[in-house]
Amino acid sequence: MLVEACREKGIDAVAVMDHDVIEGAFEFARLSGEAVARGEWAPRILVGEEVRTTGGEICGLFLREWVPDHLSPVETMDIIRSQGGLVYVPHPFDLLKLKRLKASELKALADRIDIIEAFNGKPRLPLANVLARRFLDRNAGFPAGAGSDSHEPTHLGAAYVEMEEFEGPEDLLEKLPRGTVHGKLYSPLASALVRVRIRREKKALERAQVSS
Ligand SMILES: [Zn+2]
């Protein structure tokens, strides 16, 4: 479903960042590589993880291994960086989240942060995207990213960055500032309905596997 969603929406590269787990991202990357080897189209997968820290959620991109959750933001960022990964701060101004890095903390952690999300597609608090953009405009030096925050395939690509082809983390960082952030919020109701449908289909599949 994810490959099909990427193909339909013209998403060439997608970061898979599950909450506190990484196996799915590795599996998707493996399957994608196998499909390409067979001559089929598949998106490029950036293996990542959205890690819950004591100071809110922090994403790692280009990870080689799992990053433990519930550490401090600094510890988490250091673990991500020690793997050669990039530190990506998602939905930075989602004021509805009690635990999050404040603007002053983002500035203080500038040396450890590689990318800040300028647009998040999840319709929690639309104002958050306005505040994120304003922060990025006022604080040059943080490349802007975009995340669909899609928890199911239909909203994949709701937010994305249009940019040059890149190879690896350093190249991405170099080219990202010349990219263009695109994004729209998706409907929370439609999203919930799709998730219910997927859950039902999964259960039916599991039942079929058990009975066969
Ligand atoms: Zn999040």
Work out the pLDDT band at 111, boundaries 50, 70, 90.
Answer: very high
Sign of CA dihedral 100, 186, 158, 68: positive
User: How many percent of the chain have pLDDT more than 70?
Assistant: 100
Distance from Cα 207 to the centre of ligand 1, integer Å: 31
CA–CA separation, 160 and 146 (whole Å): 5
Mean pLDDT, residues 200-204: 91
Distance from Cα 40 to the centre of ligand 1, integer Å: 32
Q: For the chain, which residues make up each domain, given as ranges? A: 2-186
pLDDT in tens, 38-81: 999 999 999 999 999 999 999 999 999 999 999 999 999 999 99
Distance from Cα 57 to the centre of ligand 1, integer Å: 6
pLDDT in tens, 116-143: 999 999 888 889 999 999 999 999 889 9
Distances from the Cα of 5 to the Cαs of 8, 9, 23, 51, in angstroms?
5, 6, 20, 25
CB atoms inside a 10 Å sphere around CB 187: 11
Assess whether pLDDT exceeds 90 at residue 190.
no
**Report field, pTM of the whole predicted structure over 0.85:** yes
- Top CATH class of 2-186 equals alpha beta
Distance from Cα 201 to the centre of ligand 1, integer Å: 25
Assess whether pLDDT exceeds 90 at residue 1.
no
Distance from Cα 202 to the centre of ligand 1, integer Å: 24
Mean pLDDT of the chain: 94
DSSP 190: H
**Closest by alpha carbon to 7, among 27, 26, 30, 35?**
35
Distance from Cα 125 to the centre of ligand 1, integer Å: 13
- For helices 2-9 and 23-37, the axis angle rounded to 10 degrees is 60
pLDDT in tens, 168-188: 999 999 999 999 999 998 887
CA–CA separation, 45 and 62 (whole Å): 9
- Cβ(110)–Cβ(138) under 8 Å? no
Return phi, psi of residue 46, to 5°.
Answer: -95, 115
CA–CA separation, 3 and 10 (whole Å): 10
